[in-house]
Structure formats: C-alpha cells, structure tokens
Amino acid sequence: MSQNNAIGALNDGLRLLEEDLKADDVARQRVRIMVLRVGAPQDVEVVTDWTDAIEFEAPEIEANGMTPLGLAVRRALEEIEDEKDRYRDHGIPYNRPWLFILTDGEPTDPDWEAAAAECRAAEESGRVSAFCVGVGDANMDKLGRFSQRSPLALKGLAFREFFLWLSRSARAGSKSAPSDNIQMAAPQDWAVVPGRSD
C-alpha cells in the first residue's frame, strides 16, 4: 500500500463523512467534529476546529513524517475537555465524546506511554470513549495501549467503509439522550481484529 494511495483513500473517506452527516437532519445539527493531524517531531495541527456537522468541510490531509501520537492524544483530550466546559457553561447536555485515533505507524515521542495511560484513565472515568484504528504497518501493540478496547486494523484502504460506519454511528448517537449508552454497530466491513484470520 503506497502512502499516496492511503492518504487519497483517507481524504475520500472524510468527504463521505461530510456528505453522510449533512444528509441527516438531526446529526448535522447535533454532531460536532474536530480533526487533528500529527507529524514532524513534535507537531500537532488542528486541521478542523470544533464545528457542527452542517458546517464541516472535509479537510485535505497530507502525510507529514513522524508520529508524536502521545502529544496528539494529550492535545485531543484537552480539546475535548475544553469543549465540554463550553457546553456546561451554556447548560447544554452532551453525550460522552468519542476520540478516534488513526495511525499507520507507531508513537515517536518519548513520553507516549504516559499519554496512553492518561487516555485509558479518561476512558475509565467516563470522560471519553477512545477507539484505535491501525492502518497498514501500524504498531498495533503500542496503539492498543491508548484504549481499554482492542485496536482494530483497517482492511486495506477501506477508509470509505470506516467513515460511513462512523457517520452512521454518529447519526444514531445524535438521536439519543445524553444519559443513553450509545451502542455502535459492529465494524464488520472495514476492520479486522489483529491475530484473527477471518
């Protein structure tokens, strides 16, 4: 799998996410999205700041070398808490946020393990639900340290299937009450569980 093909498939998937969320009358008003990209030795870039799905425009992601995954996850957790504070300040109820971590490599920052522990602690305390997805040659063992859930491996370049699944899950979640425990559909058409041959 070439990096260009993977990035192209990722960008196609993001455009599908945009289209599918905007097609749902409730989700486009209630789902909020932020996209971060990592690269360079210590670089985390906000590609799309918090926005309602109706305003979301799929960004064009470019590959950028290194993977300071711990730094990125810490930044994502901070951004999520800031967004929740804004909701609370305005008396707006919210569902537990979802954090999706996609990577085709492995953490390159020195304190990624501490960041992974912070992410798991945030999950355990109910502050966030983290989902890890490895692409291509991603180090699944290290990726798995960021969540209580086992990481999933993307089937080939099935980004479109992944983002369609994510959109459908978000659409269902947007219709649930903040106290509801949102059940996501099983990711059958885009993911494989590492170590299984089916």
Cα(30)–Cα(85) distance, rounded to whole angstroms?
17
- Residue 1 scores a pLDDT above 50: no
pTM: predicted TM-score of the whole model, two decimal places: 0.90
Task: Give the residue extent of every domain in the chain.
Answer: 3-171
Contacts 24+ apart (CB under 8 A), 2-5: 3/63, 3/104, 5/157
CATH: 3.40.50.410, 3.10.450.710, 3.40.50.720, 3.40.1390.10. Which one for 3-171?
3.40.50.410
Q: What is the DSSP letter of 53?
A: G
Average pLDDT over all residues of the chain = 90
Chain segment 105-155, per-residue pLDDT in tens: 999 999 999 999 999 999 999 999 999 999 999 999 999 999 999 999 999
pLDDT band (50, 70, 90) for residue 198: very low
Cα(34)–Cα(193) distance, rounded to whole angstroms?
26
Cα(10)–Cα(32) distance, rounded to whole angstroms?
19
Cα(1)–Cα(158) distance, rounded to whole angstroms?
12
Is the pLDDT higher at 61 or at 121? 121
